[in-house]
Structure 1
Amino acid sequence: MPDFDPVILVHGAWQGSWAWARFVPYLQAAGFVTHAIDLPGNGADGSDPAEVTFEACLRHVYGIVRALDRPVSLVGHSGGGLLITAFAERWPGSVSRLVYVAGMMLPGGESFEEIVKSVSPRHSEAIGIWPHLEWSADRRTSRVPAQAAIRFFLQDCAAEDAAAAAAQLTPQGEGGRAVTTLASAERYGRIPRLYVEALHDRSVILPVQRAMQARAPGALVVSMPTGHAPQFSAPAALAKAIIPFLASREPHGIR
């Protein structure tokens, strides 16, 4: 059995570990010990999403990695990209590889909203799901209506599958989402990165994905003809795209 680094799968906003359920078997079949985690406040731990902080999410992932007692590969989908960047910046010795799946791969100190704003004059659709969110009265949490989720996240899935996934989305606390992160060349920047583009993404549209790549250069890039959630709509293809990177003994050498 190959001794690959364990893989930690970090879900995006409004999601949970369930979002990786179709993808995990492909990694396991290839010999990877895989942990799809639930972040605090996503509905699995019973905590109030309005009270969740980004720091609490970061510490939660650190507890999982520390228990493994070896470096890990971190895979972040969508907003999960913010978390894996922050983790790699704080604990670079604990991370062997970073994979962003249509993820928020941002340079230090720049927010996703700033990237979107820079792209919007040429691509009005860059605003994505934002106008369709439903907010709590205090605007500390948001939720995604099912039909908006299907249209922006799951348009390339079978209708029944998309409806089932949309029904599992939970409220998202702004404290765990609307953040900027540190990303220095000396710490985060020394870790090999792979960016998986979703070519037909309606949430983090392709021009936004490529603007992030330009602002945070250095990642390998693979492209997939999918919507926002290839781990759900095309798990076998996503596994084929990233397993060579995860399995490489010298990930820097495949640049």
Structure 2
Amino acid sequence: MQIDLTGKVALVTGASGELGRTMSRTLAQCGADIAIHYKGNEAKAKSLQAELEALGRRAVAVQADVTKLDEVLRMKEHIAEQLGTVDIVVANAVIQYAWTTILEQPAEDYTSQFESCVLQSVHLTKAFVPGMVAKKGGRVIGINTECVMQNLPTQSAYVAGKRGMDGIYRILAKEVGEHQITVNQVAPGWTISDRDRENNTEQNEAYSQSVPLKRRGTDQEIANVVAFLASDLSSFITGAYIPVSGGNVMPSI
């Protein structure tokens, strides 16, 4: 048994970022052709495109502001011209900001998280799910966070945006399930990425001690779950929120 995405087209938003690059590589290694979304980092997106093409995959780097529907629709048309209909959507892009208390957090940070978590999800649905309906199948995967279960001080804007995203995906799973489209969320813990490896910041004892597995997870471990959810091996899983956090958060029944 293996994950085989041969013949599938996957879109990863925020693909030029730390986790996005690893998810894109992993989906490509499983056989998918990749639409590499970026907002501002064209150089990294183009570098990733060349890397994936060297694997024998078709790849295209496409720029868009995913908080704007017209730009997402333009991105869809460009991907369709280059790769065809998207079978797998991975909503990974998010706006970065400085975390602080609710009393001090600027209102615009709540707006940015709503736009990049909730509206991105809505725009991607409107642009790409109709093609999945026509093909009678597809995968929508949202990258959420363990923070929505932690609710720790200074997390408010991020948690508010990601909790709104959670509502969108749970409802979408019910609305499109009859078309054999699955809709799931992967919720990473505090993940080790290339930036940590370069800066020797992989270890954080205080955080690791709170995790049952006593370590931070890696970007590859997150990407592995995304690849599973993108594949036929997960064909009867939908509406799920799956923490990949070493047990740091545990949804209850």
User: What is the TM-score normalised by the length of structure 2?
Assistant: 0.45
More contact order relative to length (CA 8 Å, sep ≥ 6):
1
